[in-house]
Structure formats: C-alpha cells, structure tokens
Amino acid sequence: MPLDLSLTGRSVLLTGIAPDTIATVHALLRDGAHVTVAAPDDPADLPTSVRDLAERGLVALRAEPEHTAYDVVIRSATPTPPPGRSGAGEVVLVGGGPSDAGLLTVAGLDAIRRADVVVHDRLAPLAALVHARAGTEIIDVGKIPRGEFTPQERINAILLEHARRGRVVVRLKGGDGFVFGRGGEEAQACRAAGIPVTVVPGITSSIAGPALAGIPVTHRDLVQGFSVVSGHVPPGDPRSTVDWGALARSGTTLVVLMGVATLPAITAELVAQGLAGDTPAAVVADAGMSSMRTVRAPLDSIAETASREGITAPAVAVVGAVAALDVLA
Ligand code: SAH
C-alpha cells in the first residue's frame, strides 16, 4: 500500500494481517508515526517481523484496540494471490542494504516490482515491499538473534518450490546477501536444481553502518584497509576459524558483525593479542533506522560501554583509528 501522506508524530492503528502489513508498518515507522498493530485472534497469524518490532518496543501490540483512540486506522485485507505462471520460474537474490535506509539499489527495487513471491528476512528493507504488485505473496523467514528461525534447507526448498511453479521469486535480505547472508548457498541450491538464478548485490551494513555514523572504514593517512569478520562464535570457541592475533596485527580497521553478545570476549582477545587497549572503537546499532545509536569508547572498555548503554543487535562494531572520527559532525 503506497503511503504518500505524512503521518509523522501521528498515532496509527493497523488492523487485519495481510501480506503488505510488514511493508506498511515499516513505511509508517520510517515516516515517524506511532504504530499500534491490532493483535490477531490467533497469535500464530502475527508475522515474526512484527512480533520482533513489538519486542523491541518499536510498535505496540493491542488486543481489541479502541479505534477512536487513534489519529488514523488502516485496515488490511488479503488480496487474491496471482496465478502460477507456466514456464520456468527464476530466483533473484536481492541484497536490500541495511534496514529501510533507502539503500536498496534500483535493480533490487526493479526485482521487487516484478516479483510474484518475496521471501524475506527480518533485517531486509521491508518498507520497499510497498512496491510489490498487489497479490505478491510475501513470505517471512526472518530470524531473530538466538531465537526462532527457519532452517536454511527449508528456505532453499521454499525458493525452489515457487520457482518450479513458474514464478519470479525474490529472496530479499538486509545488506549484501553474499556477506554472512548465505546467498552463496541459495545460489548453489538453485543451480543444482536447474533453476535460473541471478544476484543483485546490496550495500552491506559492514560499510554502510559505520558510514551512517560518520566513520569511514578507510581514511587516507590513517588506515589502508579493513577486515570484516563474524563475531557469531567467540575467540577460543572450537567452531571459530578466525585468527584474532593476525587481525590484531593487521593494521586494518576491524569490522565485526553479529558480535554484540561476544564483544567482551572479542575485545579481550584483541588486547591479549597485542592491540593497544586505547585503540578507538565504536558500535553502531540499528544503522539506518530511526532508532540508530552509536557508542564510542577505547577498545578495552567498548564492550562494557555498549552493554551499559543497552546496545542490542543488530549492531556493527568498528575497531581502529577511524572509530574516533565522525566526519559528518
Ligand atoms: N548480509 C548482511 C549481514 C548479515 S549478518 C550485510 O551485508 O549487512 C547480520 C549482522 O549484520 C547483524 O548481526 C549486524 O552485525 C549487521 N547488521 C545488519 N543490519 C544492520 C543494521 N541496520 N545496523 C547495524 N548492524 C546491522
């Protein structure tokens, strides 16, 4: 549902869960509205992404809300899905850039406009779904950190199943799908099944997150490169293959994704491996969202500072001289 009217500061109630509910909620939040979603009778009907936003305090959920208490009430209805097309379908792997920051590419937007089905993650730019054709099937396979998730094999199966029915299937993710996005596996699953697959690279949060906080990952005279690693498993964990000592000595800016929970272990290891405790560091959370926050502190206290400030995922940690900069200030 395209929203061309400004609802900044208005209280908006959404009733009825439809395929475009997620897109509408995100478009309203981006517009600065105070959003309440009427809880469906069956809690299972509530899309994971909406539940996640409610748990993060970004939208309110109310059972049987009083409609007159809101400035605007939007009722959603489920449209009839498009018929399956004959002929071969296709899968388009779209990196949507971080959140709803307007960083989706023109090619990504074009793919959403053509889609018969959109299979999306929690951190995808969901406001962009307002550009999907009416009746496009929207499937939420979003993962909540350390919470419920759709296994990758199931996601691959969903992509193949719809493509085999002759549909244009857009797999929409946050950032770049080939950067900790398992896009490579999805491409291989499509090729193995003989399904045509194309990729639309996205703007990764590993660069855009710091950039939106005024931190360039490289800066002439300061640093000649950057390294991006996953903090999903901490140093010392048998599953970790990252050489933290080499990173500590690399002389590059270090960008850590998925590292909020493991930040204390990571920063301690970097210091133990010889990186100076007073090396500048920063954590950028919710980059590109209205809730975006940046905290800065030296390496040896950034984990404690981030925790004290209540920083939660999604967040990008940056370590290195550039983390002291705010080139937008
Ligand atoms: N493919 C994504 C990364 C997926 S891994 C990309 O290229 O950006 C998920 C991690 O990305 C999160 O744990 C967080 O570290 C980071 N991330 C994604 N979106 C973010 C955002 N809006 N703000 C800050 N970090 C984000």
Quick check: CB of 316 below 6 Å from ligand 1? Answer: yes
**Rounded to the nearest whole angstrom, what is the distance from the C-alpha of residue 70 to the centroid of ligand 1?**
34
Confidence of residue 143 (pLDDT cuts 50, 70, 90): low
**Rounded to the nearest whole angstrom, what is the distance from the C-alpha of residue 254 to the centroid of ligand 1?**
15
The answer, yes or no, to whether residue 26 has pLDDT greater than 90, is no
Higher per-residue confidence, 157 vs 19: 157
Quick check: CB of 287 below 6 Å from ligand 1? Answer: yes
In ligand 1, which atom is closest to the CA atom of 176?
Answer: 7
- 1-10, 116-125, 129-138, 312-321: least confidently modelled range: 1-10
Model confidence pLDDT, tens digit, residues 203-253: 999 999 999 999 999 999 999 999 999 999 999 999 999 999 999 999 999
Cβ atoms 99, 287 nearer than 8 A: yes
Quick check: CB of 140 below 6 Å from ligand 1? Answer: no
The answer, yes or no, to whether residue 82 has pLDDT greater than 60, is no
State the CATH class of domain 206-324. alpha beta
Cβ atoms 123, 149 nearer than 8 A: no
How wide is the angle at C-alpha 300 spanned by C-alphas 282 and 206, nearest 5°?
30
pTM of structure: 0.81
Quick check: CB of 257 below 6 Å from ligand 1? Answer: yes
Return mean pLDDT, the chain: 91
Query: Which residues make up the CATH 3.30.950.10 domain(s) of the chain?
Result: 206-324
Quick check: CB of 49 below 6 Å from ligand 1? Answer: no
pLDDT at 172: 97
* Residue of minimum CA distance from atom 15 in ligand 1: 257
pLDDT at 78: 64
Arithmetic mean of pLDDT, 21-38: 88
Arithmetic mean of pLDDT, 154-163: 96
Cα→Cα distances 277→73, 243, 300, 303, Å: 52, 19, 5, 12
**Rounded to the nearest whole angstrom, what is the distance from the C-alpha of residue 243 to the centroid of ligand 1?**
21
Percent of the chain scoring above 90 in pLDDT: 73
The answer, yes or no, to whether residue 199 has pLDDT greater than 60, is yes
In ligand 1, which atom is closest to the CA atom of 206?
Answer: 8
**Rounded to the nearest whole angstrom, what is the distance from the C-alpha of residue 121 to the centroid of ligand 1?**
11
Confidence of residue 56 (pLDDT cuts 50, 70, 90): confident
Rounded to whole angstroms, the Cα distance separating 201 from 103 reads 11
**Rounded to the nearest whole angstrom, what is the distance from the C-alpha of residue 138 to the centroid of ligand 1?**
22
Cβ atoms 167, 89 nearer than 8 A: yes
The answer, yes or no, to whether residue 79 has pLDDT greater than 70, is no
Model confidence pLDDT, tens digit, residues 296-313: 999 999 999 999 999 999
Catalytic residue list: 121, 143
pLDDT at 319: 98
Rounded to whole angstroms, the Cα distance separating 228 from 118 reads 28
Query: Which residues make up the CATH 3.40.1010.10 domain(s) of the chain?
Result: 90-202
Query: Which residues make up the CATH 3.40.50.720 domain(s) of the chain?
Result: 11-75
* Residue of minimum CA distance from atom 24 in ligand 1: 315
The answer, yes or no, to whether residue 2 has pLDDT greater than 60, is no
Cα→Cα distances 30→23, 54, 55, 292, 302, Å: 11, 15, 18, 12, 29
The answer, yes or no, to whether residue 10 has pLDDT greater than 60, is yes
Quick check: CB of 176 below 6 Å from ligand 1? Answer: yes
Ligand 1 mutation target, pool 171, 182, 316, most atoms within 8 A of CB:
316
Which of 17-21, 100-104, 264-268 has maximum average pLDDT?
264-268
Choose which CATH entry (3.30.360.10, 3.40.50.2000, 3.40.1010.10, 3.40.190.10) describes domain 90-202. Answer: 3.40.1010.10
- What are the φ/ψ torsions at residue 170 (nearest 5 degrees)? -100, 125
Rounded to whole angstroms, the Cα distance separating 270 from 248 reads 6
Q: Which of 16, 23, 59, 66 is nearest to 39 (CA)?
A: 16
Model confidence pLDDT, tens digit, residues 180-195: 999 999 999 999 999 9
pLDDT at 22: 82
Note the residue count of the chain: 329
Arithmetic mean of pLDDT, 92-96: 98
Confidence of residue 6 (pLDDT cuts 50, 70, 90): confident
Confidence of residue 123 (pLDDT cuts 50, 70, 90): confident
The CATH code that applies to domain 11-75 is 3.40.50.720
pLDDT at 86: 52
Cβ atoms 199, 178 nearer than 8 A: yes
* Residue of minimum CA distance from atom 19 in ligand 1: 98
